[in-house]
Amino acid sequence: TQRTTPPAQPEPAQAAPAQAKAPAKTTDAPTNPSTSTAPAPTAKTKRRSGLPRPAVIAVVLVTVLVVSGVAWAGIRFLGPESPPAARPAENASETPSAGPTTNVAVPDAAWADGVHEVWTLNAGEKERTSITVVDDQLFVTTYTPESTPASVIAYSISGAEPEKQWETQMRDMEGYQRGVWGDYLIVGGELISRSDGQNTRAPWSDPDVLIVINDTAIACRKSNACEAWRSSDPASRVWSITAEGWQALLGIDGMRFDSRTNVHAGERTIIALSPKTLVDVDTGETFDLSPDDYASVTATTDGWVAYNGSEYTILSPTGEKKDTFRAGSGWDPDKQFGATPSQEWPSSEQYRGHVEEGDLSWAEASVSYTGLGKDGCDVSISFDGTTIESRIESTGTNCMAYPSVYSPSEGGEVMMALLDSPFSPESARIMKAWTLADQREITFPGSNTEKSIFYLANPSLIIALDYQSGRVTAYAPGKG
Mean pLDDT per segment of 10 residues, for the chain of length 480 residues? Answer: 35 30 36 35 36 37 28 28 36 39 82 97 75 93 73 94 94 69 89 95 87 87 89 94 73 46 86 91 94 91 94 98 95 86 90 95 89 75 92 60 78 92 80 95 90 94 91 93
Would you state the pLDDT for residue 270? 92
Radius of gyration from C-alpha coordinates of the chain? 21
Would you state the pLDDT for residue 147? 62
Would you state the pLDDT for residue 465? 94
Query: Quick check: 411 and 109 in contact, CB under 8 A?
Result: yes
Would you state the pLDDT for residue 253? 34
Label the pairing between strands 163-169 and 428-435: unpaired
Q: 12: which DSSP letter?
A: P
Which structural domain range is residue 321 located in? 2-477
What's the structural domain count of the chain? 1
Q: Where are the beta strands (DSSP E) in 144-193?
A: 151-156, 163-169, 177-181, 184-187, 190-193
Exposed/middle/buried for residue 102 (C-beta within 10 Å: 0-12, 13-18, 19+): buried
Residue 320 CA to residue 300 CA, distance in Å, equals 14
Residue 281 CA to residue 317 CA, distance in Å, equals 12
Would you state the pLDDT for residue 215? 86
Q: Encode 394-418: b = buried (16+ Cβ within 10 Å), e = exposed.
A: bbbebbbbbbbbbbbbeebbbbbbb
Q: Where are the beta strands (DSSP E) in 312-444?
A: 312-315, 321-325, 335-338, 365-370, 377-383, 386-392, 405-408, 414-419, 428-435
Residue 441 CA to residue 325 CA, distance in Å, equals 40
Would you state the pLDDT for residue 410? 94
**Which of 106, 71, 444 lies closest to 273, judged by CA?**
71
